[in-house]
Structure 1
Amino acid sequence: MRLQVRRLCLLLFLLWVPGEPMENSDFYLAGDFLLGGLFTLHANMKSTSPVDNLQVPTCRKFTMKVVGYNLMQAMRFAVEEINNLSSLLPGVRLGYEIVDICYMFNNIQPVLYLLAQEDYFLPILKNYDRYVPRVVAIIGPDNSEAAKTVANFLSMLLLPHVSYSAITEELRDKTRYPATLRSIPSATHHIEAMVQLMLHFRWNWIVVLTSNDDYGRENSQLLTQRLARGGDICVAFQEVLPAPACAPRLDAVLDKLRRSTARVVVVFSPEVALHDFFRAVLRARLTGAVWIASESWAIDPELHGLDGLRRCGTFLGVTIRGVPVPGECDTCPWKTASYGDVLTLSGERVVFSVYAAVYAVAHALHRLLGCNRTACAPGPVRPWQLLRELWDVNFTLLNSQIFFDQQGDMPLYLDIIQWQWDLSQNPFKSVALYSPRQQQLVPIGNVSWHTGDNSVPVSMCSKSCLPGQKKKAIGLHPCCFECHDCPPGTFYNQTADEFDCQPCPSTMWSRGNAASCFRRRLAFLQWHEASTIIVVLLAALGFFSTLAILVVFWRHFRTPMVRSAGGPMCFVMLAPLLLAFGMVPVYVGPPTVFTCLWRQAFFTLCFTVCISCVAVRSFQIVCIFQMASRLPRAYGLWVRCHGAYVSVAFMTAIKAALVAGNMLAAPTIDPTSHTDPEDPSVTIVSCHPNYRLGLLLNTSMDVLLSVVGFSFAYMGKGLPMSYNEAKFITFCMAFSFTTSVSLCTFMAVHNGVLVTILDLLVTVLNFLAISLGYFGPKCYLILFYPERNTPAYFNSMIQGYTMRMD
């Protein structure tokens, strides 16, 4: 190994010294099967561009590219390592022909040379199925433009072509490049890694700079397409980097960068085109930016070595994940000693791609030759046969799974690296890892930012909205917006639409400026509420007082006091009162079909029976004392036909028809819910939608009966004291009239939960007015003034009234 190191270092030194043009093959190793290698050993023009003076470029006009030599070393090392293995290609010796392509100016001649046979002759044939060229496969070149040129030639013969660094998307088109595979992920994954990096740090306002070539145009187009799908990142502006000779155009780009609020700059350009650009950036004193490098210059040591570049900001880049290859040369003595850090710290990332490409071809050759543990079958290797085997390789190399996906790419991990300026450490520190298989970015380290407090730089057109705020676009960019609070009843759902608030479901509500909705509170009478407790206590009072009155009247049924109160009709009134007081709990709790029927039918009919009896009783009193003498025939018909009971039944039947018609007109008998107009966060649970209309109709009829009863009671105000119930009936009817009118008025202007509460309260109070206001005084006389409850007393009162009338 020490001898190999010395030989390599000697070759590096010889190549570093300018000399005469070399032959086609710069490095050669004889073998049973040869691998072709295309590497950029020279780059960066020393003098003026050949376009300016119309001269054909030669390699000696370029400076040495140290990374290119490191990659070439990886191929030589892999071939020699395979030759020393007994398990891979036993008895077969691999060789190589490695050629310097001078970045991309010298790629056609080497390809033709490698396609030719030993006599340098490349025949023109109709069918190349049986043609065997000088090499069985070609590794390289590195840049995309050169790789496409090479791929066009190799596709003619289906000669296996494995690129270790060209990420262009065009090479994935197997109809154009059927023989080309790559030992790296494609540009799509590099772009996705960039986008996820920007999303991770919440950068949505960026600048894109591209070189004026296929590489810059293609990658910028891929980025634009990816950003169009997501919509989370916007491009403030995009510029093409001008030629170094065009100083005014370059100054204009730098001025635009200086004035832009975007602090993240994505640069797609080959590394050779960026030296003059960053020198101009340093002269312009542009600082405070985050520079995101594409793979072409992400680990370029010469750019990293520019004096003062660290003042420009933070440099991040996407590159292939570094996998150390054990056994390689780390440093070289004498003239190449200064390149030791470069070879170790920058080149090792792409080294594994070259190393894996050589091993992939070796495994394909092993399969094609039918090798076992000891030997391989001899025979010619035709390119298309080896290509077929190469597609199917799958093996483990240095703990990495090596295979090609459906597009011919190796889905190896990508690294997000940060440029470090302390050369005692790795100048390209890994801060995140991107998996092409999962398409996911995984942070693995902290980034050292250029900001004073090491905080993440902000690059946003607009600050993020607070939770519960929607965006209102400003201009053409969706990343530039204003924030507006979502109104009540809506919420902000980022996954649905960032520029609109979503309405809450019908059963939910929001207060406004909300990121979610909550369930509306169901409003109905509950036992623990003060209003419910008061009504229930009043109902209990009415129930027990009515029960006591019923007992008193039953025990004194044949007394004049009970007979004057209506006799049997008193029990027609008291029975519904007692039942109604006892059924008040059906108003408490969420309404059901059963409770709604009781509320809308039973209660209203009970009240109608009672108030009808009061109205008929007041009419009877007037008839007895005023109409009996004037209309004796009508009075006789009233008595014979039981006019009082017929009237009560008739009015009750009308009320029952109104109730039945209202219930049949409803679309459903099931309870419904509607939003409280005064508080949208509350849902009022009530009976069917016609509940309020039916309540208004029922209350209107009760008001009419109250007016009738009040009128007759007022007409009989001059009757004898024992029969004079006018003031009690007047009180009952006036109270019923007042409360009913108040309830109708309230329902006409209000639709809240108080309607249910007031409906029950008015009903209970009206029942109490009848029970205590009409029957109470009579019970009082029966119990405490029994001497007035005699026929003699009533007869004396009637005689006195008759004498006064005469």
Structure 2
Amino acid sequence: MNGDFIIGGIFSIHNYMQSEPNTYTKMPLHPKCSGRSVMEFRDLRYARAMEFTLQEINNSTDLLPGITLGYQIYDSCAAVPMAIQIALQLASGMEPFVNNTHVCPKPAAAAVPVLAGESDSTPSISMARILGLFGIPQVSHFTTCACLSDKRQFPSFFRTVPSDHHQAAALARMVKHFGWTWIGAVRSDSDYGNYGMASFLKAAQEEGICVEYSEAFYRTDPRSKVERVANVIRSSTARVIVAFMASGEIEVLLEELVRNPPPPLQWIGSETWIINAKHLRFNMCAGAIGFGVPRSEIPGLGEFLLNLTVAQALKSPLLKEFWESSFSCSLTGFSESMRECDGNEDIRSLQNPYTDTSQLRITNMVYKATYAIAHAIHGVICNDTQCDKSIQFAPWQVLDQLRRINFTTRNGVQVMFDANGDPVAVYELINWQVQKDGTLDFVTVGLFDSSKPMGQEFSISTNISWVGGQTELPVSMCTDSCPPGTRKAVQKGRPVCCYDCIPCAEGEISNRTDSLNCMPCPPEFWPNAKRDSCLSKPVEFLSWGDTLSIILTLFSVSGAFIAVCVAIIFYRHRTSPIVRANNSELSFLLLFSLALCFLCSLTFIGQPSEWSCMLRHTAFGISFVLCISCVLGKTIVVLMAFRATLPGSNVMKWFGPPQQRLSVLFFTLIQVIICVLWLTISPPFPFKNLKHYKERIILECGLGSAVGFWAVLGYIGFLALLCFVLAFLARKLPDNFNEAKFITFSMLIFCTVWVTFIPAYVSSPGKFTVAVEIFAILASSFGLIICIFAPKCFIIVFRPELNTKKHLMGKMPSKSL
């Protein structure tokens, strides 16, 4: 159609171009669509939508008033040679033929200042490179290749459909959202498929998705290649397949798969085919999901498409082909294979993509592209009051206006371009759902809006019907998910999605599914049996309620009670020879210290605290030194008493009761000084032992200063050893009741207990360490009280006839005890 300004239009109304080997002996044939190519009724609808939009613009009083826009619309056959020829023709205004004369043809019409189209990415890339050289802007309605956003290579390219960069990211995020980590991938072996799949694979890798296979083919490839791709799909273990394909390739693939259907697959489609109604005949794709541009209404378009008449169809080869193909009749009447059209054909009775205006998605992109071109021309030739059709302008002026446009179409859609010539990416999530009548139809179940904040772009608004019409989400993983308590370990030589589930190591947990690493529990926590959460470690100490504590307490109290009983017996018989002969004052002091030794073991029971830790070690050290000092004093008294019986000896006056008291006080005072220094410099303290046992906490008393601790023990050991040596030397002194013998036995027991205590203490676990220490205190205390006082008490209570001075002096024959 002619007009004041001509707009070019190019659409892929057919999918194949006729080709013939070049013999170089004759002129090559003009490029034209192949006779075996089936017309794409949907793309014909796009072309007619551009025609409808231009008529609407021409009737507008606001946009280009008084200006008529004409058009030249061509079929590119989705082929690069045809697209390049049309681009050159629209840019130069030449007739679409090549002459063999030496005279250059004159332009048949003025060159178009702007072009709408093309549908496919590969032809668009070729066209954009040529048109960019002339500065002629191209506004595509369906070319989605992300490569065209590069303004250095394609400075004059614009589009109203979002770039595949956003679609690929949205598809990868959707796959991740549904938990599919093991997928297959097929693509068109074209710029659209290769660039789109490359973007998707990059985004999928970032999301942790693994691809079992990635296959590519083109619709003109030999059937053997298509069969190979189909066999790969059939033999794969992935139950989800992402198809980044043009309509021509997906149709070829699905027709091949129908011959020998694979196991049920969850199809994920790119927008080129997922919103193409002609593919709904493939029931094997029921449940397919993918993104498509939002659906919109275009008032008046449906009626415009249905008002096509025979007279109009005869004016255009494309419309003529559509009419004859739709009604299986010939408009010219010369066909042998078809009847002649009688004029009664009712286009309203047709049900095909041309007449279907229920899913106007890409058609709306054509509507937007055409309006964008009109607004750009308006910005060049119009001012605030009127438009001047006589203005001569260059394509670059339209290009400059296209970068600035920002308007809303009559159906309420905003149109603007970013710095890359792209619109804001908004997609609807389309689901192929089985209807009540058994047919498939498009259902919008979600939305993706790239303008929203990160993480909020993708949303699902309604239930999705999955593969085969199932409501249960399909699973596609190389390996089943690793439950909490395990971690993933990649299998050697396989993708990262193929892994083994390894239980977390001791002390570590994983609290989520498919954890890559196990996390160590905090020091005071320990994993539960499933190793999916950390629990507080049980705290262990020798508590009062333990059976062992009760037993030790009974022994401790019993020992103290025995010491008190012995003291009572000695006090009641304090004037008896046996009590007086064995230094009753030191005996009472020894019994008092033994009672303290028995009772100090109680300080080791219960939860350690700051005061109990300091008390237990100092009380133990001082009471035992007091006890050993008394025994040492008694031993010295025995030795001195023997020396005193020798003629001329006055040694006892140097070791009388005052000296005995002072010696005990002196020896004990040294231990007191050691303990005071220990408590002052670095006292014992309570602490949680996290190292001895990994699964529980041992409450212990830290030594503080190890030197102080070993000084206390060493001093006790020194006195005990000294006492043992002296008692051993005095064991054979002539006496019917030689106390040195019993002291020797008691010190032997004492030293044996504490020598064996050291390895037992070091090797005892947890609270048993304290129990061993208490046992050593009780054993050594019982050893002292039994060896030293038991024989005396036996004589006092049961053999009073032996409790005489004559017997003690050896003047009566001794009797066996």
TM-score calculated relative to the size of structure 2: 0.75
1:414 corresponds to 2:427: yes
1:736-775 equivalent positions in 2, closer than 5 A: 736-737=750-751, 739-741=753-755, 743-760=757-774, 762-763=776-777
The answer to whether the 8 A contact 1:89-1:376 is kept is no
What residue is the counterpart of 1:64 in the other structure?
A: 39
What residue is the counterpart of 1:796 in the other structure?
A: 805
Change (3 A) 1:548 1:95: farther
What residue is the counterpart of 2:606 in the other structure?
A: 588
Change (3 A) 1:322 1:694: farther
Change (3 A) 1:104 1:453: closer
The answer to whether the 8 A contact 1:523-1:685 is kept is yes
Letter matched to residue 167 of structure 2 = H
1:626 corresponds to 2:642: yes
The answer to whether the 8 A contact 1:74-1:351 is kept is yes
1:290-689 equivalent positions in 2, closer than 5 A: 290-305=266-281, 309-311=282-284, 314-329=287-302, 332=306, 334-335=346-347, 337-340=349-352, 343-344=355-356, 348-361=360-373, 383-394=395-406, 402-420=415-433, 422=435, 427-437=441-451, 438=454, 440-451=457-468, 454-474=471-491, 475-492=493-510, 498-511=515-528, 514-526=531-543, 529-531=546-548, 561=579, 564-565=582-583, 567=585, 570-571=588-589, 574=592, 578=596, 581=599, 584=602, 588-592=606-610, 595-600=612-617, 602-629=618-645, 632=649, 637-639=654-656, 642=659, 645-646=662-663, 649-650=666-667, 653=670, 671-675=686-690, 677=692, 679-688=693-702
What residue is the counterpart of 1:20 in the other structure?
A: none
Q: Residues 431-467 of structure 1, C-alpha deviation per residue, up to 9 Å, x if partnerless?
A: 3322323464322333333459654333322211222
SS in 2 for 1:479: coil
What residue is the counterpart of 1:155 in the other structure?
A: 132
* CA distance in 2: counterparts of 1:509 and 1:446, whole angstroms: 42
The Cα shift of 1:682 comes to: 0.7
The Cα shift of 1:205 comes to: 2.2
* CA distance in 1: counterparts of 2:706 and 2:68, whole angstroms: 97
* CA distance in 2: counterparts of 1:391 and 1:803, whole angstroms: 134
1:107 corresponds to 2:83: yes
The Cα shift of 1:67 comes to: 1.3
The answer to whether the 8 A contact 1:40-1:141 is kept is yes
- Unaligned runs of at least 5 residues, structure 1: 1-27, 121-132
The Cα shift of 1:206 comes to: 2.1
1:274 to 237, 246, 250: 250
What residue is the counterpart of 2:11 in the other structure?
A: 39
The answer to whether the 8 A contact 1:616-1:644 is kept is no
The answer to whether the 8 A contact 2:284-2:468 is kept is no
The answer to whether the 8 A contact 1:577-1:771 is kept is no
* CA distance in 1: counterparts of 2:811 and 2:381, whole angstroms: 142
* CA distance in 2: counterparts of 1:580 and 1:148, whole angstroms: 99
Change (3 A) 1:56 1:116: closer
Change (3 A) 1:769 1:603: farther
What residue is the counterpart of 2:71 in the other structure?
A: 97
The Cα shift of 1:348 comes to: 1.0
Change (3 A) 1:101 1:563: farther
Letter matched to residue 508 of structure 2 = T
The Cα shift of 1:176 comes to: 1.5
* CA distance in 2: counterparts of 1:559 and 1:389, whole angstroms: 130
Count of aligned residue pairs for this structure pair: 746
Letter matched to residue 446 of structure 2 = A
The answer to whether the 8 A contact 1:556-1:562 is kept is no
Query: Quick check: 668-677 or 65-74, which moved more?
Result: 668-677
The answer to whether the 8 A contact 2:633-2:660 is kept is no
The Cα shift of 1:709 comes to: 5.0
1:142 corresponds to 2:115: no
Change (3 A) 1:377 1:95: closer
What residue is the counterpart of 1:206 in the other structure?
A: 183
Query: Quick check: 185-194 or 452-461, which moved more?
Result: 452-461
Q: Residues 284-327 of structure 1, C-alpha deviation per residue, up to 9 Å, x if partnerless?
A: 3334222322222222233333xxx3146653333223233344
Q: Residues 745-766 of structure 1, C-alpha deviation per residue, up to 9 Å, x if partnerless?
A: 3223234232134434544675
1:136-285 equivalent positions in 2, closer than 5 A: 137-230=114-207, 232-241=208-217, 246-285=222-261
The Cα shift of 1:616 comes to: 0.6
SS in 2 for 1:318: strand
Letter matched to residue 442 of structure 1 = S
Letter matched to residue 523 of structure 1 = E
* CA distance in 2: counterparts of 1:90 and 1:300, whole angstroms: 34
Change (3 A) 1:564 1:454: same
SS in 2 for 1:801: coil
RMSD: 5.0
SS in 2 for 1:329: helix
What residue is the counterpart of 2:3 in the other structure?
A: 30
The answer to whether the 8 A contact 2:188-2:249 is kept is yes
* CA distance in 1: counterparts of 2:418 and 2:288, whole angstroms: 31
* CA distance in 2: counterparts of 1:559 and 1:78, whole angstroms: 135
What residue is the counterpart of 2:324 in the other structure?
A: none
The answer to whether the 8 A contact 1:111-1:153 is kept is yes
The answer to whether the 8 A contact 2:487-2:501 is kept is yes
The answer to whether the 8 A contact 1:587-1:599 is kept is no
The answer to whether the 8 A contact 2:169-2:199 is kept is no
TM-score calculated relative to the size of structure 1: 0.76
* CA distance in 1: counterparts of 2:66 and 2:685, whole angstroms: 89
SS in 2 for 1:215: helix
Letter matched to residue 445 of structure 2 = V
Letter matched to residue 101 of structure 1 = D
Q: Residues 60-96 of structure 1, C-alpha deviation per residue, up to 9 Å, x if partnerless?
A: 744432111222344344445556666x547464624
The answer to whether the 8 A contact 1:152-1:177 is kept is yes
* CA distance in 2: counterparts of 1:399 and 1:582, whole angstroms: 92
SS in 1 for 2:257: helix
SS in 2 for 1:427: strand
* CA distance in 2: counterparts of 1:616 and 1:95, whole angstroms: 127
What residue is the counterpart of 2:338 in the other structure?
A: none
The Cα shift of 1:197 comes to: 2.8
Change (3 A) 1:546 1:72: farther
Query: Quick check: 448-457 or 688-697, which moved more?
Result: 688-697
SS in 1 for 2:215: strand
The answer to whether the 8 A contact 1:35-1:137 is kept is yes
* CA distance in 2: counterparts of 1:29 and 1:318, whole angstroms: 38
The answer to whether the 8 A contact 2:510-2:532 is kept is yes
The answer to whether the 8 A contact 2:14-2:77 is kept is yes
The answer to whether the 8 A contact 2:594-2:627 is kept is no
* CA distance in 1: counterparts of 2:252 and 2:600, whole angstroms: 98
The Cα shift of 1:171 comes to: 1.0
Change (3 A) 1:243 1:712: same
